[in-house]
Structure 1
Amino acid sequence: MRRAGVCLLLLALGSPAVADVVFRVPEVLVRPISDSKPVGISATASLHRPNTSEKGGDVEVQYEEYFVEHDVSTAEARKAAALLNLDDIPATRVGCGTCTRREMEYCETRVLMDHCCCERHFLPEPFPWLPHTCYVGPHRCHPLAHDCVKYTRLRDCCCYKHLAQQWKGIMSKSTSMISGGMIVLPLLFVPVLFFVAYL
């Protein structure tokens, strides 16, 4: 009986590691017959050891595995948005200055990518009201804002209030659509995908 309990515990501890692999990205390498140096679509593929590979003639397929680092589900985001008080969020912070149009475009299109690169699950989630999924892979990520310090400044000075207003509205509408018996737009259920790597 005791032995069976230990086996069940080992299975429970071992299974998430296998289930956590979300997807594998292939890199195809073509090896010329006269030369052993790989050439192909990935310039750095020969520098990294692949997790797995399949060989067939002069073509080799290598895979990189990506895992969920952390995520905020639509249900969790909806709860957080309901508790969000926009009056408690300052429009900007001391020393921030005015945000440019380019910085506001960064908030709309790239801030979540840098969030996934710079902030891991052990840090407080800055966007609990925004559904997203952050993935982690085998290579180091590079923030689109050039570094995590600049990302943090843009997040706090330009993005936070803007995105909080936007997503509180989106989550409120999705809640009313559900309570009214309508189907929520599929876009709200599709998590934001980001490819990042271990720091």
Structure 2
Amino acid sequence: MATFPNSLAPSAINMGSQSTTLVSKSHSGKRQARKFGTTLVTFDVSWTNLNRVQMGELWGFVQAQSGQFGVFDFFPALYRDSSNSNAPVSAIVGVIALARQRRVQISGLPASKTVLNAGDLIRFDNHPKAYLLAEPTVSDASGNAVMVLTFDLLRDVPATRVVFFKYVGVQMSLVDDAISLNQRPPFWHDLSLKLIETI
């Protein structure tokens, strides 16, 4: 699988999410909502004032994706590493976590510390879905903790699998088939892309 070029830092990056929910209301005003599937991570990324050589690297990669067809790993600047200085690169899942759960027990952490922050991006080694943490993760004296996720687990995560907190990639594709490249005198280029998680 391809990896998005990371040599050029974006001028702006906005993280979002996309969920599918069916909402209906009765005449009496009673609301019913049903959720379908999982929540997908999205990014709006833009680069400005790039010269032709810099733009060539990005433009070549984008064109090689054939619009929405291609799938690639994107390592988002500012979001790919935990925002907590106590976070290790990874940890071990301590007890099997079943699909549709939001709590995952992990071990191998620094003892008695807040090791992860709410909003941190994580990824397990047994499936490509990226997850966000709903609240801070605090380890006990033995270096164990329970992570609370914002999205339900998509798959079972067996004990001893690895969960990553640093250099976390999100498996993505382009949202649009049509991409345009802007050029301004004297030959400066701007590019904006919308990306959506693909699992």
Structure 1 length normalisation: TM-score?
0.24
Pair member with larger Rg: 1
Q: Which structure shows the higher strand fraction?
A: 2
Q: Which structure shows the higher helix fraction?
A: 1
